[in-house]
Each structure stands twice: as structure tokens, then as C-alpha cells.
Structure 1
């Protein structure tokens, strides 16, 4: 009779990790983040840094992380903009889109052969931007009323800034939905499609992958629904006393990313985080 292996006993061959709240706070590195990324790079294991932020290209984000002392290769960064572009390339190759967003989104769409237009586009794509334009939002509403399909990169209602909260993609999507009666399809977390696209990007398997995040309602639920083991760090959005209020649990809860450095081992020695 063959031995039955629980999910927690399977080796870890791939790590996915959120960025904000796990590796950095704004521009400040979280203790242990540098060591964790260096351990990943020397281990030979596959890994990606994930973010719902669609403003920046992977090159931009690499520069931002480097400024914080964290050296993540450009090809190890996976954004909601890249996941959105991949989704659209699969759904309607070489299509057209009207984009409300910044370089992270427009660059990703150009790279898959999409044409940016406000004349009868296949899609209206709403991403993050630091300066939402009422004119652009109005145009998006009219195009959706005219039959364009509504896609949004992520449902986050707000984002942090040094001065306090900023309205984010989810809030603007709600405005457009109220005006049009049409709900967007959100690509980023908590949609497990974001995790699946990341796994496909590096030819990884869900059964041997761990997702590290700081939010129960995005990182952990999307990892869980994609079949990954999950680790919640309490350096970001979800506080330790909030974990029990959710109807699902991560595989493990730790204080910070520093607690995971010792668990990153070469492929031949890879082991699972304890539940």
C-alpha cells in the first residue's frame, strides 16, 4: 500500500510572494526581505513577486525594489497588468482596447500586440493610475454603453500614500458600474486566475508551490482557491487577531518574512512550511 502524503508534507519547489506588506512598506524594506529574496535566488527554486499594482512595469518595480535594497530580477515580477494582458491575449488575440491606466498596463498590452484606441474597442481596461481623469472615466462609460467589454486589473478599493488613503481601481470600477449597469471582470487577486497565470509563467505546479501574503481577503484566498499552500505574514494589512474572523485559514501564520528564510532550501532539500 502506497504512503499517503498530505499537502503539507510535499516539497516546496516554487514560491510566490506579494510585494507590499510582505517585502516592503512604501519604500522601506521589511526586515528579512533582502535575506528571503537572496535565499530564493541561490536556492535554484522558481519564484515570482506578485502585485496587484498595475501602474508600473516590471522594470519600474525592479528599480523601486533596488532602491529599497532588494534585488529582484525583472523577469521574477508578475503584475496584474501582465496577468490582464495574458488573459486578453488568450481570449481575443490582437484585439483593441481603451485603457484607463498608466505605463504598466499600456506596455503590457502593446507587448501582446493590442492596439490602443477609443473607436469601438473590444475592451475597456481599467487599471491603476495616480491621476484618474474624469474625462477618461466618462469616455470609458460611453464605450461600455456602446458594447465594449469591461475588464479591470484589481478590485482594491483604496491604496496607501504618505498622506493617507487614495481611491484605487475598485472604487473607480464601482463608479463606472453604477453608471453603466455593467460589472467588470477583475483579473488580479483575489481572482485565482492571477495565481494560475503566475504558475504558468514559470511552469510551476500548484501542489509544490507556496503563496506568501499579508492579506487574507486577497493573497490567502486566491492562493487557497488556486490549490496552493499559503503563508500569512502579519507585517501588512491583516492583523493576527483578525485571522480567526475569516471562514478559511492559511497553512501557516508567521510574524514576518524573516521567519521563512530558513525554509528556503535548494530543490534537493526542499521541504514544506509546517501548518
Structure 2
């Protein structure tokens, strides 16, 4: 690990699990802060702003300044600003993606938008989805913050962004361009934010199908932890491997 200067890490399953801190996560973040290692916490969650997520993590005992959080909403806004500065968008989503697009200089509109952007929300409406379908059919570009088909809840899985993407695709025949993980673009935009380079940056995640494959395709060193959804049996399902497999982020502490 001596050649790793910058770190990217997933949030759920790596730092916290069901709002409970994973042992060692807080100490590792503090170590990075004290040694001035550039790092970002990445998440496909586009509901909340970075400030919201920083506050939620603090409630779990994990201190992460908002400028050290990079969401799929922020990555999507950065991508669209590059594509069409000052563009217009119709958004199906909540504060995370709406705030990110506003701060990127976009106008939110239902009238001839350049993009239809679908993000995560707990309040999907038939009316909003219908508008999205009609606008895409009229020529708006179809963009999505992330491909996750389901999200977690105390009662069980919830339909998430990927499920709504599929519904709109079925109705329009148009596939979205998805910016969040496993698109390595999200990792590249994160590295640009902290001035990192792939040859000296590592990604820590708990999912083979998002964190590890995206990190691998972005040219990063990849670390898979066993505190999320993956286990040894899960790893064998894929034709690729992480560089390192750890029980948890606690194994990255310097005294381990």
C-alpha cells in the first residue's frame, strides 16, 4: 500500500452498515485526515446532497466533511455541465440531483428540456414518469444517475432508479446513459476532483458488480471488503478479481 497516495471508498457496506459504523472505519478516515491523504467517499445515492450525507454519517459516528463526499448526482451534474453548459433538464428525483444540477447552472423545466434525468427518489409518481417518457419521445436525451434496481429498507428491498429506467426504456425504446457506478466515469470525475491519478489511487468497495469492476476499468487498485453484500462465494461468480480481499477496512489501519 506504500505507493497508494489517494483513496476512493464506497459508503454503505464499507463505512456503515444499516446506519451502524463498521469497526475501524472512523479510525481509517481519521488516519487519512491526519496524514493528509486525499480521499473521497463515493455513493450511488442521488437522493441526498453531500451535506445531508455528511450529517447522516455523523449521526452514525463517522466524520466525513461534505467536500469529501462524491455522489452519483454530483457526477451526473459534472458530466452534463461538460456536455452542455447552461442546459435544460426535466428531473425525476429529489434534492441531491436537483441541487447538483442547479449548482451546475442548469435550468429545471418541463418545456423542451435537453435532458431527462432520472435519479433516486422515494416518491416516484406516474405523472412524472409519463412526462419523462413523452419528453424522451420528443427528443430529450435520457440520462440516469445510477443503475441500481433496488434499494434497502428495514422492510426489505425497494424499487430504485434502475427499475424506473427499465420502465421508461420499455415505453420509449431508449436506453439511458448511466453516470454512476459501475461507469468508471464516476471514478474519473472523483479523481479529477481531488487531483488524483489512477496509478496511485485505490478503490475500496463491497460489491463486485459496481465498485470492483468500475475501479478495475478506471485503472485503480481495488480492495474488496467482506462487511457488505459480498462473500467468498460471490467472488467466484465473476471472471475478474479484486487486487486485495479484506475482512474490513480495519485491516487497512497502519498497525494491522
**TM superposition score normalised by structure 1:** 0.91
Partner in structure 2 of residue 129 of structure 1: 121
SS at 1:245 equivalent: coil
Structure 1, residues 8-51: CA drift from partner, whole Å, max 9, x if none? x7611000000001001121111111111111111111000000
Question: 1:90-109 maps to which residues of 2 (within 5 A)?
Answer: 90-109=82-101
Partner in structure 2 of residue 268 of structure 1: none
**Out of 204, 215, 218, which is 2:210 matched to?**
218
User: Aligned pair 1:21/2:13, yes or no?
Assistant: yes
Give RMSD over aligned pairs.
1.2
**Out of 57, 71, 92, which is 1:65 matched to?**
57
Q: Distance in 2 between matches of 1:145 and 1:263?
A: 57
Structure 1, residues 28-78: CA drift from partner, whole Å, max 9, x if none? 111111111111111111000000000000000000000001110110000
Would you say the 8 A contact 1:10–1:207 is kept in 2? no
Question: 1:49-64 maps to which residues of 2 (within 5 A)?
Answer: 49-64=41-56
Would you say the 8 A contact 1:10–1:208 is kept in 2? no
Question: 1:191-210 maps to which residues of 2 (within 5 A)?
Answer: 191-210=183-202
Question: 1:126-165 maps to which residues of 2 (within 5 A)?
Answer: 126-165=118-157
- More deviation, 23-32/171-180: 23-32
SS at 1:262 equivalent: coil
Cα deviation, residue 111, structure 1: 0.3
Q: Distance in 2 between matches of 1:30 and 1:67?
A: 13
Which residues of structure 2 form unaligned runs of 5+? none
Which residues of structure 1 form unaligned runs of 5+? 1-8, 265-275
Q: Compared with structure 1, are the counterparts of its residues 110 and 263 closer, same or farther at alpha carbon in structure 2 (3 Å cutoff)?
A: farther
Would you say the 8 A contact 1:65–1:72 is kept in 2? yes
* TM superposition outliers: structure 1 runs of 4+ over 2 Å: none
Q: Distance in 2 between matches of 1:89 and 1:180?
A: 25
Q: Compared with structure 1, are the counterparts of its residues 263 and 200 closer, same or farther at alpha carbon in structure 2 (3 Å cutoff)?
A: farther
Q: Distance in 1 between matches of 2:224 and 2:113?
A: 40
Cα deviation, residue 240, structure 1: 1.7
Cα deviation, residue 201, structure 1: 0.5
User: Aligned pair 1:188/2:158, yes or no?
Assistant: no
**Out of 43, 62, 66, which is 2:35 matched to?**
43
Q: Distance in 2 between matches of 1:211 and 1:75?
A: 18
Structure 1, residues 208-242: CA drift from partner, whole Å, max 9, x if none? 00100000000000000000000000111111221
Larger relative contact order, structure 1 or 2 (CA cutoff 8 Å, min sep 6): 1
Partner in structure 2 of residue 168 of structure 1: 160
Q: Distance in 1 between matches of 2:191 and 2:4?
A: 13
Partner in structure 2 of residue 118 of structure 1: 110
SS at 2:203 equivalent: strand
Higher Rg: 1
The number of residues matched between the two structures is 256
**TM superposition score normalised by structure 2:** 0.98
